Amino acid sequence: MLIKREQRILLAGEDIAASDITARAVFDNRRRVLQAAGAAGLAVAGGALGFGRAAFGAYASPDAKAHKLVAATNAKFVVDEKVTPYQDVTTYNNFYEFGTGKSDPSQNAGTLRPHPWRISVEGEIKNPKVYDIDELLKLAPLEERVYRHRCVEGWSMVIPWVGYPLAELIKRAQPTNNAKFVQFITLADPSQMPGIADPILNWPYSEGLRMDEALNPLTLLTMGVYGQVLPNQNGAPIRVVLPWKYGFKSAKSIVKIRFVEQQPPTSWNTYAPHEYGFYSNVNPNVDHPRWSQATERRIGEDGFFKPKRKTLMFNGYGPLVASMYQGMDLRKYF
């Protein structure tokens, strides 16, 4: 059972009572969703989230052998915080297809073959298509964005991702009015992923978003990190990044993007629904049944004896995402 606390929500420095969040109509069709996503992108200035580093390719690839990605920095989506060292970002990971230990992915992911790679875009859309990863890389201009990353286990990082809004792909897919959710299916190949032999989850890994979440300007279809293609252990060659949700929502090594009418099953919610909700928004006021979510430890920065930092509601991205959840009980829909 989740531990209930006083009904107050911290939104990017504001203390707002949950009872003050007004009701909203659920998006019932694609047009309304697209309009809402566009409005969100126009209505919020970068400064409201503490963003603001105007640069171009500021984070050069630290791996001399890796394929480089040219991406303009989108200063509206750069948090004004110290970036986590590349060594930590690429060696401290959750990627159970390569093992359950934090160092397992970096040690075991060399067997993954990220090229050639194809991603099927299918379901309730007018333009189904199977994309080659090289084609997806050229589908829209690549951006560098520096996002906070919060793991459900209580640790966090600040990571310079490279990609473009998932909305760019959705626009080309042209969802029908029946498309209410987007599902991500990842690779499950035991010849490439030794962790598949462990039945801890029902493989392949599945994640999902409501359509308005998928269209939110923060939702990044991601092909790179630190100015280079994604290392295998970080979800090569393509993943989705959702900075206001706990890290397990950001599906790695995607092979299918499906548009569906009903809420899709997701791996961790199926495995333990009382611990991992479908939404999994970062919420310091809703504890995991086995630990508090009120604080976090920043990897590579917060030492063992340094006090933990407070976790922000929606990981500090409230101005861009809170409106999508107005009127919802965020303890029920955790």
Residue 77 domain flag: yes
What per-residue confidence (pLDDT) applies to 333?
A: 96
What per-residue confidence (pLDDT) applies to 303?
A: 75
Dihedral sign from CA coordinates of 211, 32, 314, 150: positive
Look at residue 288 and tell me whether its pLDDT is greater than 90: yes
Residue 259 domain flag: yes
Residue 53 domain flag: yes
CA distance 260 to 48: 34
CA distance 192 to 46: 40
What per-residue confidence (pLDDT) applies to 21?
A: 31
Please name every residue paired with 257 in a beta bridge, in sequence order, or none if there are none.
Answer: 121, 184
Global pTM reads 0.84
Query: Which are the contacts of 39, defined by CB distance < 8 A and separation ≥ 6?
Result: none
Instruction: Give residue 315's identity as a one-letter amino acid code.
Output: N
Residue 333 domain flag: no
Residue 277 domain flag: yes
Look at residue 205 and tell me whether its pLDDT is greater than 60: yes
Look at residue 266 and tell me whether its pLDDT is greater than 50: yes
**What are the C-alpha distances in Å from 191 to residues 7, 97, 171, 218, 242?**
48, 11, 35, 34, 29
Look at residue 290 and tell me whether its pLDDT is greater than 90: yes
CA nearest to 226, candidates 50, 64, 53, 54: 64
Residue 2 domain flag: no
> At 75, which CATH number?
3.90.420.10
Residue 173 domain flag: yes
What per-residue confidence (pLDDT) applies to 50?
A: 45
Look at residue 56 and tell me whether its pLDDT is greater than 80: no
What per-residue confidence (pLDDT) applies to 74?
A: 96
Q: Which residue has the higher pLDDT, 72 or 16?
A: 72
pLDDT exceeding 70 applies to what percent of the chain?
Answer: 83
Look at residue 70 and tell me whether its pLDDT is greater than 80: yes
Mean pLDDT for the stretch of residues 167-186: 98
Average pLDDT, the chain: 86
| Backbone angles phi and psi of 11, in degrees to 5 | -115, 100
Give yes or no for a contact between 228 and 63, defined as CB atoms under 8 angstroms apart: yes
Instruction: Give residue 186's identity as a one-letter amino acid code.
Output: T
- As for how many domains the chain has, the answer is 1
Q: Which residue has the higher pLDDT, 321 or 5?
A: 321
Mean pLDDT for the stretch of residues 12-37: 36
pLDDT exceeding 90 applies to what percent of the chain?
Answer: 78
What per-residue confidence (pLDDT) applies to 248?
A: 98
Residue 334 domain flag: no
Look at residue 260 and tell me whether its pLDDT is greater than 90: yes
What per-residue confidence (pLDDT) applies to 6?
A: 31
Domain that holds residue 236: 8-325
What per-residue confidence (pLDDT) applies to 57?
A: 52
| Backbone angles phi and psi of 215, in degrees to 5 | -90, -5
Look at residue 37 and tell me whether its pLDDT is greater than 50: no
Look at residue 130 and tell me whether its pLDDT is greater than 50: yes
What per-residue confidence (pLDDT) applies to 7?
A: 30
pLDDT in tens, 134-172: 999 999 999 999 999 999 999 999 999 999 999 999 999
pLDDT in tens, 101-121: 999 999 999 999 999 999 999
Give yes or no for a contact between 222 and 145, defined as CB atoms under 8 angstroms apart: no
